[in-house]
Chains A and B, each alone.
Chain A
Amino acid sequence: MTATVYDFQPVAAQTLVEEVVARSGQPLTACYQCRRCAAGCPVGEETGYVTPDRLIRMIALGDRDQALNNALVWQCVSCFTCGTRCPNDIQTARITETLKKMAKEKHLEPLKPKVANFHDAFVKSGLRWGRVNEMEFMGFYELKNFLKDLKAGNFKAVYDEMMTQAKLGLDMFKHKRLHFGFLSAKGRGEIKRLFKKYKARKAA
């Protein structure tokens, strides 16, 4: 893999920086590229040239396309090591979270669709019942993955995923670790109402 040259767009840079700073709450213009974040990033070996410092650089240069869809945005494990060590208190894991949401709003196809599907299914299950039901949410998550793979004719991916999950499920079942009860919170309507009001205000 070779490093990519980022595309500097002065006008786009300003709006992109402003948007990411406002939404993530991270002072990314304070970055002076010391790369302490890159040294500690546990997924650095998986994401090629995209380390937290590089991601900040993409944003600062206004390269929106690359910033919204790169390996780090989708493979960041939110361990918060980069931000904890940053001398300028920039929590890049909050930036990757922000970029995920921005990519979704723009209906961009995620580099790792399974990651997007997972977090989506998790929060929706938590909202729906007030508590996350692991079986239900995993069901929705896998269904989304399968539909996507089937549409693409990728039958091997479906088979592999089924086998992996079946093996884990069987292990957990044998050790009495699976829970077949159903969890819910009566007050879930409060959260739903709050979220609805918040979305309406944001849209206005």
Chain B
Amino acid sequence: MDIAYYPGCSLKQTSGIYDQQSVKVFKALGINLKEIDDWNCCGATSAGKYDDFLAIAMPARNIGIAENEGFDEIIIPCSACYSRTLVAQARINDDAVLKDEINADIEKKIDGSLKVSSILEVFLPLVESGELKKKATRKLKQLKPVCYYGCMLTRFSYNVAVPDNVENPQGMEKVLKALGIKAIDWNCKTDCCGASAAVNDSDTSLNLMARIMNDALARGANCMVTTCPMCQLNMDAYQEAYCEKHGISERLPVYFITEIVGMALGMGADELLIDTHITPSTELIEASDKELEKV
């Protein structure tokens, strides 16, 4: 099965591993991610603070490209890109004048019928069909993860249909369960890591991240799993900083969902580029494998 794929700027730069993992993991599951041609930046959370028209027009152009390439569904693994594109589409479908205005100047006209899917919305049908469980050959015995959703998978700047429970989403838990991993329940699954505040208001952001980390540790988690490249980068790359600031001695790997699925499918930590995390993240996987050898 082919599906349109919008990586976004982050997945082509600092979170390049998420791009490579997504393509690899879905291919192993029989889904080909087809990167749409000449896509542009979605504007992320910054565009809404700069100009409201741009915040719609930027992601809108990408919808037109995917639709004109003949796709009826697009997968957007980055939470910010997903949120912005979903909102742009809803805004355009609710406002015919705005839609005409944007369509007047773009080559690939927008129809507005494209299904905009997060990475979880593409994984979940494979959970329901039993396909994921069937292909998951490797048991990851040592993982005690908390699922970290962040803000942008369930809360939106505009009234859109949210595909999961807003306060207590379960999509990631369902994916992990199909792989034989039991996620730990916790308080901070939809809390904010501060996103760009890590750069422009680091005091605020480090406090938010430490609160998330403290709850994960208090619940006995030994790793976090996320679908958002911003959450992953912040929780991983700033881990020394926020732990040091708040006197936290433990450190936790922060995995992309694609890393957990990929490993369960039998891929190696090196193949999935997990050694490129800032916080050491391969030991837990090696421990899992050793545990299995013992049995």
Q: Which residues of A approach B to under 8 Å, CB–CB? A: 23, 42-43, 45-46, 74-75, 77-81, 83-84, 89, 91, 93-94, 97, 100-101, 112, 114-115, 117-120, 122-123, 126-127, 130-134, 138, 141, 164, 168, 171-172, 175-179, 183, 185-188, 190-191, 193-195, 197-198
- Chain B residues with Cβ below 8 Å from A190 are 61, 105-107
By size class, the interface of chain B is 35 or more
* Interchain CB contact under 8 A, B38 and A185: yes
Q: Is B40 an interface residue (CB 8 A)?
A: yes
Encoded as 1 (CB less than 8 Å from any A CB) or 0, chain B from 1 to 32 comes to 00000000110111011000000000000000
- Measured between alpha carbons, how far is A134 from B46 in the docked complex, in Å? 14
* Interchain CB contact under 8 A, B57 and A194: yes
29 contacts between A and B (CB under 8 A): A42-B191, A75-B204, A77-B205, A79-B151, A79-B191, A81-B190, A81-B192, A84-B154, A84-B166, A89-B159, A94-B157, A115-B197, A122-B196, A126-B41, A126-B43, A126-B44, A134-B9, A134-B13, A141-B200, A172-B237, A177-B276, A177-B278, A178-B14, A179-B13, A183-B13, A186-B38, A187-B107, A190-B107, A194-B105
Query: Which one of B47-55, B126-134, B168-176, B245-253 is at the interface?
Result: B47-55
- Measured between alpha carbons, how far is A50 from B208 in the docked complex, in Å? 18
- Chain B residues with Cβ below 8 Å from A89 are 159
* Interchain CB contact under 8 A, B197 and A97: no
- Chain A residues with Cβ below 8 Å from B158 are 91
Q: Which residues of B approach A to under 8 Å, CB–CB? A: 9-10, 12-14, 16-17, 38-41, 43-54, 57-58, 61, 101-102, 105-107, 151, 154-159, 166, 190-192, 194-197, 199-205, 207-208, 237-238, 275-278
Known: A112-B200, A171-B278, A185-B38. A122 touches B166 (CB 8 A): no
